[in-house]
Amino acid sequence: MASTSQYPTYRQSVLEAQQYLRTIAHRDSTIPKIGIDGIYGTETADAVQKYQTRSGLPPTGEIDQTTWDRLYAQYSQIVKDESPADTIKGFPAPNMILTPGDTGDSVIFIQTMLRALGTRFQGLSNIVINGIYDQATTRAIIYIRRSLHLQGNSIDRQVWNSITNAYNYLI
């Protein structure tokens, strides 16, 4: 490995490389978890060398274009894999009300959220995602409406937004 005197002492690209290496190290225990300080010292050079070895690159301990490209690609994939799911937005139509027997995409969205929430709330378990506002969906909506101190079994804006807020918080 080259001596550390060859490495730049501080640059934005060093900080980025250290961030990439640290993120990768959380998934790959063969890469040491290094500090992110912008200094390309022996700790960073060692992590780069181990990364290169693991990636089938010449283990120089220096970041050339090929190493940079692989680091960035792997880091980007990890960030993509670990980013939170897109949240479901608020009520789909201003005056829409869903009632038992209704079918369609809005029912599928509600059932998907209810099923996920069922892992935390026993009154929301046994939801089948079938796009039909069936008996299990009706029981779950009654459970939610009661928790909101509301009567009935329909899904209006208030109930929809309560479900989506709980779902978005869960994910």
Q: Sketch the domain layout of the chain as residue ranges.
A: 4-82, 105-170
Q: What is the mean pLDDT of residues 137-165?
A: 90
Residue 148: the pLDDT is: 87
Residue 85: the pLDDT is: 60
pLDDT digits (tens, 9 = 90+) for 18-65: 999 999 999 999 999 998 888 899 999 999 999 999 999 999 999 999
CA count, 13 A, side-chain hemisphere, 99: 3
Which runs of E-coded beta strand occur in the chain? Answer: none
**Residue (of 107, 157, 113, 153) closest to 133 by Cα position:** 107
3-class SS of residue 96:
coil
Q: How confident is the model at residue 67 (pLDDT cuts 50, 70, 90)?
A: very high
**Does 9 score more than 70 pLDDT?**
no
Residue 69: the pLDDT is: 93
pLDDT digits (tens, 9 = 90+) for 145-156: 998 888 999 999
Q: What is the mean pLDDT of residues 81-105?
A: 79
Residue 1: the pLDDT is: 41
154 within 8 A of 99, measured Cβ to Cβ: yes
* Domain 4-82 fold: Muramoyl-pentapeptide Carboxypeptidase; domain 1 (1.10.101)
